[in-house]
Amino acid sequence: MRCPFCKNDETKVIDSRNSQDYSIRRRRECLDCSRRFTTYERIEESPIKVIKKDGTRVPFDRNRIRAGIEKACYKRPISNEQIDQVVADVEATLYEDGLRELPSRQIGEMVFSALRDLDKVAFVRFASVYREFKDVNDFVDELQPILEDRDRS
């Protein structure tokens, strides 16, 4: 593994851990500059194709999910680890289902559901883009179940 700091090819693994998203986290140390960094190994599976609204098919990209979640969570008290966990959960569900193609709407619903449990503000932000809200009434319709749950508590 090449050191991201000095570009030396000689590193040693200090610690390895399995994670829930079917990856291995390795803590490494460069033998030249002695700096430490983390790498992740992931099983390479046959690629999942995402069917977009216009019917085109694109390869699944976990970074697109992460970017959308990061935008929704902007200036919210949500850690990168929590975002990573949501992305990992969505990705794991996709691979466990065994489907090779699925509509983008299905992925959006998974993220939508995860954000509802994680942070209500991030959930509404994501919903406004994902559900393509046109006016305030759309927001009210989406928030109504949340407000009813809060009133029952």
What is the Cα–Cα distance from 146 to 134, expressed in whole angstroms?
20
> Could you say which DSSP state residue 135 is in?
S
What is the Cα–Cα distance from 51 to 103, expressed in whole angstroms?
4
AA letter at 107: I
pLDDT at 45 (0 to 100) = 65
Residue among 99, 125, 126 nearest 110 (CA): 126
Q: Are strands 49-51 and 101-103 parallel, antiparallel or unpaired?
A: parallel
Residue among 95, 47, 139, 133 nearest 110 (CA): 95
pLDDT at 153 (0 to 100) = 64
Q: What is the mean pLDDT of each run of 10 residues along the chain (153 residues)?
A: 94 88 88 94 80 94 94 94 93 86 92 90 84 73 73 70
pLDDT at 20 (0 to 100) = 67
